[in-house]
């Protein structure tokens, strides 16, 4: 099975999810440090669509100004544009497999798509 994690090594939840994935020998893992290599807008939209969530549900509010900017209530295009301009607004970690996408908070949510 292939899996891709959009990872921030500074984030404890992201590190814990990565550890769960690395512990599974059958997984061919791709790690993308999204702050260095952010996903394209179309890819980000696809990730949220496949996760069954609106982009505003994936906005990082901790240590950002997302709420003050109204991003938690904004339309998809506004949120995606903000995330592409400032990748730190993307809540992490997002994990994609052929079974779907999950925002892995808590990290154990990754089990739903393995």
Supply φ then ψ for residue 113, to 5 degrees.
Answer: -120, 20
* CA–CA dist 22, 105 (Å, integer): 17
Sign of the alpha-carbon dihedral angle for 99, 104, 106, 107? positive
Tokens of 44: 């980000």
Rg, C-alpha atoms of the chain: 13
Q: What's the residue count for the chain? A: 114
Residue from 4, 11, 22, 27 carrying the catalytic annotation? 11
Has 104 been annotated as catalytic? Answer: no
**What are the residue numbers of the active site?**
11
């Amino acid at each position: 099975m292939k899996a891709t994690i959009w990872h921030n090594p500074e984030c404890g939840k992201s590190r814990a999810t990565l550890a769960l994935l690395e512990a599974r020998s059958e997984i061919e893992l791709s790690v993308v440090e999204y702050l260095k290599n952010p996903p394209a807008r179309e890819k980000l939209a696809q990730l949220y669509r496949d996760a069954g969530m609106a982009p505003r549900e994936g906005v990082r509010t901790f240590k950002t100004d997302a709420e003050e900017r109204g991003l938690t209530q904004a339309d998809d295009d506004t949120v995606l544009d903000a995330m592409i301009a400032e990748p730190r607004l993307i809540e992490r970690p997002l994990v994609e497999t052929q079974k779907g996408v999950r925002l892995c908070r808590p990290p154990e949510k990754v089990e739903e798509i393995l």
